[in-house]
Amino acid sequence: MNCREARRHLSPYLDSELDPTTTFAISEHLHACDDCRWRFDAERRVDQEIVAELDAGVVPDGLWRDALRPLRTPLLRRWKFYMPLVAAASIAITAGIGWLTNSSTSQPHWVIREFLAETNNGRPFETANETTVPTGAAIALNPFSDLVVRLTPEVALAHVVQFVRLDSIRDADGTEIVEIRLNCCGEPVVMRAARRDRPGRLREFLGADETRLASLSNAGDVAIAEREVGDYTVVAVSRHPTQELLAAMTVQ
């Protein structure tokens, strides 16, 4: 891929919306071409500056309270308006009692999603298929086959977790880093694992992850948490608390 072709894909590349083959080709080009790498980095910074300026910040409490006020109006005040609905609802409730008593509550679960896009830089992910993983199951973080994430009931009850991607990066010197992307309670989380004695570019990735997540909104600080698990260093980057997710990593 040459410079012109690479720059033609700039916009979808910045948004991580290219197919894996093109993404890889551009990455290879950026690795080799200082000028394009500088340019792509600068364009990403321009996006970050624009986002920072456009971000309207947090909604004032009073404004949001007003927005929800109609929903919180006591039922009695709306009684006259809803009278016909209430009458109809009471019939429906009576008829539905049998169904309700037979229904079962859903169990907490984690969901693994397969990717459409190669990467999403910490954004909510678009998915092709979903596979529910039962609580208690372990997912091996290949190529580190002895490192697993075990879906404990405690985590599943405390958080709504959607696994979206598991990938590994192998550098030229053989260093391997596992990358796990997930959404926890609606917040993007990026986790990475590397052998403790061969961390490779682990720290380098962390800085980039933190910058990307921070650029999405200013709703809170992005934190980096770290844990040693057996022979591995596991790190998590998110606005959301990640201690329990890190604790779910074990060696078997």
Partner 1 sequence: MRRSRDKGEFLDQLEPLRHQLYGYARRALNRTDGVPDVLQDVALTAWREFPQFVPGTNFRAWVFRIMVNTVYNHNKRAAREKKIANDDTPLDVEVVLEHENEWASILEDPGRLREVLDDRIVHALDALGSNERQCLLLCLLQGFSYKEISEVLDMPLGTVMSHIHRARTKLRERLTVLAIERRLVGEGRP
Interface contacts to partner 1, rule CB under 8 A: 11-12, 15, 17, 38-39, 42-43, 45-59, 63-64, 66-71, 111, 116-117, 120, 123-126, 130, 185-186, 188, 216-217, 219
**Which lies closer to partner 1 via its Cβ, residue 71 or residue 76?**
71
**Which lies closer to partner 1 via its Cβ, residue 216 or residue 236?**
216
Give residue for tokens 């490779």.
Answer: 200
CB of 228 to partner 1, least distance (A): 31
**Which lies closer to partner 1 via its Cβ, residue 68 or residue 91?**
68
CB of 242 to partner 1, least distance (A): 17
Q: How does DSSP classify residue 73? A: S
Q: Decide the pairing of beta strands 110-115 and 161-170.
A: parallel
**Which lies closer to partner 1 via its Cβ, residue 60 or residue 174?**
60
CB of 224 to partner 1, least distance (A): 20
**Which lies closer to partner 1 via its Cβ, residue 67 or residue 251?**
67
Mention every residue, 6+ apart, whose C-beta is less than 8 A from residue 150. 136, 137, 138, 139, 248, 250
H or E, element range at 231: none
Give residue for tokens 């083959």.
Answer: 21
Q: Dihedral angle at the C-alpha atoms of 202, 208, 213, 218, nearest 10 degrees?
A: 130
Amino acid identity of residue 121, one-letter, is N
Amino acid identity of residue 71, one-letter, is L
**Which lies closer to partner 1 via its Cβ, residue 71 or residue 172?**
71
**Facing residues of 180 across strands?**
166, 191
**Which lies closer to partner 1 via its Cβ, residue 69 or residue 80?**
69
CB of 50 to partner 1, least distance (A): 6
CB of 137 to partner 1, least distance (A): 19
**How far from the centroid of its chain's Cα atoms is residue 191's Cα?**
10
CB of 60 to partner 1, least distance (A): 8
Query: Is the Cβ–Cβ distance between 130 and 113 less than 8 Å?
Result: yes
CB of 49 to partner 1, least distance (A): 4
Write down how long the chain is: 252
Token output for 224: 């980096």
Token output for 113: 């999603």
Q: Dihedral angle at the C-alpha atoms of 13, 15, 18, 24, nearest 10 degrees?
A: 50
